[in-house]
Structure 1
Amino acid sequence: MENTEKTQIKPFSWYPGHMKKAKDIIVNNLKLVDVVIELLDARIPYSSANPMLQEIIAGKPRLVALNKSDLADTKVTKEWVAYFRQQGIPAVAVDAPQGRGIKQLVSMTEALAKPMTDKLVSKGAKPRAARVMILGIPNVGKSSLINRLAGSNKAKTADKPGVTRAKQWIRLGGNLELLDTPGILWPKFEDMTAGLKLAFTGAINDEAIDRELITGVFLQTMAEMYPDRLRERYKLAGDLPSEPHELLELIGRKRGCLVKGGIVDTEKAQRIVLTDFRSGKLGTVSLDMPPQDDGMAEDEQ
């Protein structure tokens, strides 16, 4: 990925008005909650973390939930959970649609909130449910997690990023009360590699990216990290082509993406590759590895 800076992608200076509004909602309502759950994509925990979050939450107890863990490399996800815990941040892997990890997430959230709720009771207040806010960039599965926690479709879901917009309170039984807020994305992608990985997963709307370029970089990354997944999925034998466009063309031919004259329909092939990755058809894949030292310090989260 060393050639990333030479790509034609602009610095992702995408910060729509609704993103700023979302940040304002979060800042204005943080005083209402006891715990913040930071929802990350388990495939790209570093790239899907919001670097402004530590500043925004300003000392609130924080829990990391690594969602879409069913799509991520299990071994790497365990390493990420251990990494966050070493940083003093409770973490749990979850698969919201299937409900995996949800009970642990709830119990950890209640434990984090207990000192605050106990303190209120000691001062004469009536016992109340723990109040929680879930924060995450678009398309990390926030609505799916909320629906699983609530036991019904309380939050509107869609495959496109950024569909959750308005603030809403959701009761999660007697012990948790959730303040839903829109997902937020940072205002400038200074880390180009992180921006590319977000594009791979669909966290950035496909209409806002150069799909040919994104697919090429994705294939280059997969060829370096998970070559056997490409061979298995697309029935490729031997060494993979070193040039991404040659690899895409080979995949396109294997998948029958041909037009008149036997030419590969590269746009169709690009859609197939990205869809296969996002749906898990390329197998469990993790594109962010946890630091082996303190390289991902608190101020980088």
Structure 2
Amino acid sequence: MVRTTSFVQKLGDSVKKVSESKSSSWWYNHHMRAASRAIFERIPLVDLVLEVRDARIPLSSEYEQLRNFPSSSRNIIVLNKMDLANRSKTKEWMAYFKDQNYIPYAINSHNKDNIKEFLNFLQAKVRDIKRSKHFNNSETTTVMIIGIPNVGKSAFANSLHQIGRISAAEKGKLKHATVTPQPGETKNITSLKIASHPNIYILDTPGILPPEILDAERSSKLALTGAIADFLVDQSDLAQYFLSILNLSDEYKNWEKFSIIDNIENQIMNDHTQDFVVQAVRGALFQDISAFKGNLEEEKDMVQLIEAQFTTLIKAFNVSLDSFTDVNGVIASKLINLYRTGRLGHYTLDTIPRTCKC
């Protein structure tokens, strides 16, 4: 049994406390409640539902409200952020969902070719629906995009809108869905046109979490991938959780050629995403993990390694040690950002249920 238990429990307790207290203006606020009701009422009225999930957490990012509606050919699971997940694991998850009679599709919402392929797939699906219902091409098809916060719904909607309008050669000022790195920022349901002949409109909806999340492991995964607002959890705890995942993976083995740059303090360090900084971080983590002699299946040994990594990362990130700096907080923030942008490897955090035959 891998020893991430204490990190998971700490994060899970934090999230549970916030959700149960209802003290946060972010957690399931009146905007989320109103949007949840509006989505619930509209799902039966649309022609297709695209449930967007995070490819790194295909189960944990499930939109639970959709369970109230029977799965059918009208529902498509879209695994977004496939570029941040483990590629082979994404293929396994696709096979799993097909085995469960779902229609899955993996995408990177920022890849134009990928979006074009999906749009062609979606249009073919719409044509099938129209044939089965004897619609004519003049009638409008409505597709609703739903999902939890920060799975990339709005970016996905905008990409479909832009590619679709260009393909249809339609001119005029484009109407965009609001895209923000902060989860839970979309407040209203926005309609965007993505195709003509037949006309297809998508409804971009706010990200909704359930009123309570009692499972600590799911809470931790949602927090790490950014579905839960960062200010609700301690960033140092979040970084420790990520390091526990990294330390038990094989990702660091790809970083043997990197090392900490000796004169890194002479470089311009205002951007931790610069390649030389990222390489220094990779090299530091590789050295620490490779040199560690403890048993990472033991929690105390894992904690010992993570403490050493935080110390090493001070140099890699060139963090100031003056008395006004929250050193661990700075390191944690930078480390989480590099993880979320794929600069520190590609991880699929959910495991496929053992009942799968794929």
TM-score after normalising by structure 1: 0.86
The answer to whether the 8 A contact 2:251-2:345 is kept is no
The answer to whether the 8 A contact 1:25-1:181 is kept is no
Residue type at the aligned position of 2:14: I
The answer to whether the 8 A contact 1:34-1:60 is kept is no
- Please list, as runs of the form range in 1=range in 2, the aligned pairs for 1:53-92 lying within 5 A after superposition: 53-56=66-69, 61-92=74-105
Once the two structures are TM-superposed, the CA of residue 23 in structure 1 deviates from its matched residue by 1.0
Task: Tell me which residue corresponds to 1:280.
Answer: 342
Residue type at the aligned position of 2:190: Q
Cα offsets for 1:124-166 (capped at 9, x unmatched): x774243210111111111111111000561111111122211
**Structure 1's 113 and 54: CA in aligned 2 closer, same or farther, altered over 3 A?**
farther
The answer to whether the 8 A contact 2:141-2:201 is kept is yes
Task: Tell me which residue corresponds to 2:307.
Answer: 245
Residue type at the aligned position of 1:250: T
Residue type at the aligned position of 2:123: E
Once the two structures are TM-superposed, the CA of residue 278 in structure 1 deviates from its matched residue by 1.1
Task: Give the Cα–Cα distance (whole angstroms) in 2 for the partners of residues 40 and 192 of structure 1.
Answer: 19
**Structure 1's 229 and 191: CA in aligned 2 closer, same or farther, altered over 3 A?**
farther
The answer to whether the 8 A contact 1:131-1:177 is kept is yes
Task: Give the Cα–Cα distance (whole angstroms) in 1 for the partners of residues 146 and 116 of structure 2.
Answer: 19
SS of the equivalent of 1:101 reads: helix
Task: Give the Cα–Cα distance (whole angstroms) in 2 for the partners of residues 184 and 226 of structure 1.
Answer: 34
The answer to whether the 8 A contact 2:51-2:76 is kept is yes
- Within the candidate set 101, 106, 111, 1:93 is matched to 106
Once the two structures are TM-superposed, the CA of residue 57 in structure 1 deviates from its matched residue by 6.5
2:206 is the alignment partner of 1:188: no
SS of the equivalent of 1:214 reads: helix
Residue type at the aligned position of 1:187: P
The answer to whether the 8 A contact 1:253-1:264 is kept is no
Once the two structures are TM-superposed, the CA of residue 245 in structure 1 deviates from its matched residue by 3.1
Task: Give the Cα–Cα distance (whole angstroms) in 2 for the partners of residues 49 and 230 of structure 1.
Answer: 31
Residue type at the aligned position of 1:82: A
Task: Give the Cα–Cα distance (whole angstroms) in 1 for the partners of residues 15 and 155 of structure 2.
Answer: 31
**Structure 1's 264 and 137: CA in aligned 2 closer, same or farther, altered over 3 A?**
closer
* Structure 1 residues without counterparts, runs of 5 or longer: 296-301
Task: Give the Cα–Cα distance (whole angstroms) in 2 for the partners of residues 97 and 194 of structure 1.
Answer: 26
Task: Give the Cα–Cα distance (whole angstroms) in 1 for the partners of residues 10 and 43 of structure 2.
Answer: 40
SS of the equivalent of 1:52 reads: helix
Once the two structures are TM-superposed, the CA of residue 117 in structure 1 deviates from its matched residue by 2.4
The answer to whether the 8 A contact 2:28-2:208 is kept is no
Once the two structures are TM-superposed, the CA of residue 47 in structure 1 deviates from its matched residue by 1.5
Task: Give the Cα–Cα distance (whole angstroms) in 2 for the partners of residues 195 and 49 of structure 1.
Answer: 12
- Within the candidate set 1, 5, 26, 1:2 is matched to 5
- Please list, as runs of the form range in 1=range in 2, the aligned pairs for 1:139-218 lying within 5 A after superposition: 139-151=150-162, 154-174=176-196, 175=198, 176-218=200-242
Cα offsets for 1:29-59 (capped at 9, x unmatched): 1233111101011111111112332215675
The answer to whether the 8 A contact 2:153-2:204 is kept is no
The answer to whether the 8 A contact 2:15-2:232 is kept is no
Pick which of 61-70 and 5-14 moved more. Answer: 5-14
**Structure 1's 111 and 190: CA in aligned 2 closer, same or farther, altered over 3 A?**
farther
- Please list, as runs of the form range in 1=range in 2, the aligned pairs for 1:126-145 lying within 5 A after superposition: 127-145=138-156
Pick which of 201-210 and 111-120 moved more. Answer: 111-120
Once the two structures are TM-superposed, the CA of residue 99 in structure 1 deviates from its matched residue by 2.3
Once the two structures are TM-superposed, the CA of residue 254 in structure 1 deviates from its matched residue by 2.8
Once the two structures are TM-superposed, the CA of residue 290 in structure 1 deviates from its matched residue by 2.4
Pick which of 94-103 and 29-38 moved more. Answer: 94-103
Task: Tell me which residue corresponds to 2:298.
Answer: none
Task: Tell me which residue corresponds to 1:299.
Answer: none
SS of the equivalent of 2:159 reads: helix
Residue type at the aligned position of 2:79: L
Task: Give the Cα–Cα distance (whole angstroms) in 2 for the partners of residues 229 and 168 of structure 1.
Answer: 44
Task: Tell me which residue corresponds to 1:223.
Answer: 247
SS of the equivalent of 2:176 reads: coil
Residue type at the aligned position of 2:183: P
Task: Give the Cα–Cα distance (whole angstroms) in 1 for the partners of residues 313 and 253 of structure 2.
Answer: 13
Cα offsets for 1:46-101 (capped at 9, x unmatched): 11112332215675721111111111111111111111111111111111112243
Once the two structures are TM-superposed, the CA of residue 109 in structure 1 deviates from its matched residue by 2.9
Once the two structures are TM-superposed, the CA of residue 249 in structure 1 deviates from its matched residue by 2.4
Larger CA Rg, structure 1 vs 2: 2
Task: Tell me which residue corresponds to 1:267.
Answer: 329
Task: Tell me which residue corresponds to 2:262.
Answer: none
Task: Give the Cα–Cα distance (whole angstroms) in 2 for the partners of residues 50 and 134 of structure 1.
Answer: 11
Task: Give the Cα–Cα distance (whole angstroms) in 1 for the partners of residues 15 and 226 of structure 2.
Answer: 17
